[in-house]
A and B are shown apart, each in its own frame.
Chain A
């Protein structure tokens, strides 16, 4: 017994030691945004089924920033090939990549995602505007022309058309890419529209500091940061029927029998209104490909081409069915051309 265990463990150690000289990786490795994850999974699965000569790619989650950090670790077998991201890569990240030897990065835009506000299905209809959200959720608001700390307790205090509900908003936490869109498209807009931006500037802050003050969310517990996924937000709405949650359009569409969606600036979110650019809170989704790995990792080029084919990202493809808003025809063509031409950032 002891001898067997000893031999086996010696073998395992030897295996571990020799692993550094393993054969070339034959499976694509992808990591990044949890918003892009379901789409990447659908494409990966279909790719594995359609191309029997390649293995199904491995898709990790970990957030846009986490994925890009792994992506920028360097070039080689133990680094990932593709980073999914729900926001464009930052200059600082491009620089970090270049420092690690990842110089040629190809950007691929796969389509658009809408961000929706939803309440429990049995609640009244909601019509939100960026101003309402700013007045309800910002740290500082304008009252009688003066900048004061936000004390609004009910939604109908900020807008008489909204229901008489205590303010309880479940918004994405700061590590989510969704949070940036929420700040940029709603809080910053509402800040401008209510005149708070001018008032903040009048206090002597420069433009950058004023913009940061605009998107500061109140910290008295009325706005709750959700660091988990949308399932957690859904659970919060389930337990607090007068809560308002922020979801991705795809998640909402999968749970439309439990949630009621709010209009923003009078526009109801749908793939049509987002594709037409009418619904204000949408964002493009991306993935980034390491050019040095094209042709080295088997199937990588085919995977990207398969992803960009109309069969996948087109308006009738499985991604659109799941909730992705397909990019217009010209944009999809442009993305395919740019990838084929090997255009790097």
Chain B
């Protein structure tokens, strides 16, 4: 090398050996571009998804309501004045007519006049049928309200709500839409007077399933999902962690444990509907557990989550350096002490992350729940995990199949709620990992 440069002197520039530098730089640039392109594509689709969901769903968090001065007329609620002796009277009274009369009065329609029957029907059409339970609950909670007048925000009917939000095309001929011209006129009047307004839709979180869009909510699904997540956590975390600790730290390495490992890995890839079939056969048909119960759902999802947790836990245990184990054994710890005092705390962040990701996966499952009867219309809150319930993704699926326009926005609204749940769980995973992370 030195000889060569000396002999050529300073005159001629040194001929460089072709080491493909340009080609290699170009390849690197191309690879970087591919990477950026792939990430950009992913971000684009994510944003497109979020945009469509939020655009279609944010309106579901507001619900058109009508503020009515409702006279709790004793004549209508309890015509025979028997409520003192027979409280059941208050449950069966005709509350719908109270709201209708209050609204008709505001709109200047004479309730007594028989000629107004068609108009009165249209007036009833503005108010949600759910007003019956709403007013009944007010009266049952406080019977002294009978005979007085009170301002109550009642829900507007679903079609009125959709029209108020501009989701129904009012340009099409009247006969082709559910909201009539007269009703639109009244709606405008009520809106101008401030009696009709969009209010926060707390019912979306508290109501159970309903055939009327305006009174349907995710309440039962939230509770059902909560029960299932608790069952999954309480069962799959200890079982999964115990299984992985045994396999990783205690079990002899032989063909048997290899076989088990292969099977666990395969189980993680089994389609979730298969676990539903298993749940139907074992928990419902054999063990006699009730249909549609979140207990069965939780058990099925536990089976589904276990492989994920075992794989994550084993990876976390493997990542703990052998020097820690040697040191613990060297100072005289038993193997049990070594595992529980030294290895497990160091592996905890990985285990927690794996668990939470497994839970999030279970939270979004619908297919296995179909077969055990959880894809169902459930209106009553489940008191225990033994009662019928649904789950968040199931509620989305059910609403997506409904015919009414108002369910379209509710479907997207429900997706937003589910996404927020998942985001919260993933955030928890990150925080836990940061908090417990230890360097060695």
Contact = CB atoms under 8 A, between A and B. Distances in A.
Interface of A: 5-6, 8-9, 12-13, 15-16, 19-20, 22, 25, 27, 29, 31, 34, 37-38, 40-42, 44-45, 48-50, 52, 55-56, 58-62, 70, 73, 77-78, 80, 121, 228-231, 250-251, 254-257, 318
Contacts of B299: 16
Nearest to A80: B291
B354 interface: no
A257 B168 CA distance: 8
Interface string B119-135: 00000000001001100
A27 B387 contact: yes
A37 B403 contact: no
B235 A231 contact: no
Contacts of B375: 60-62
A230 B400 CA distance: 10
Given A9-B238, A48-B380, A22 B177 contact: no
Contacts, number: 129
Interface stretch (B43-51, B61-69, B181-189, B281-289): B281-289
B288 A251 contact: no
Interface in B258-281: none
Contacts of A13: 235
A19 B286 CA distance: 12
Contacts of A48: 379-380
A13 B402 CA distance: 37
B211 A38 contact: yes
Contacts of A58: 292, 373, 376-378, 388
A34 B401 CA distance: 9
B206 to A, nearest CB: 16
Contacts of A29: 291-292, 373, 388
B290 to A, nearest CB: 6
B329 interface: no
A45 B403 contact: no
Looking at A37, A58, A230, A231, which has the most chain B CB atoms within 10 Å of its CB? A58
B295 interface: yes
11 contacts: A5-B237, A9-B239, A16-B295, A34-B401, A44-B211, A60-B376, A231-B400, A254-B403, A257-B168, A257-B177, A318-B129
A49 B172 contact: no
A117 to B, nearest CB: 16
A37 B176 CA distance: 24
A45 B380 CA distance: 10
Contacts of B370: 62
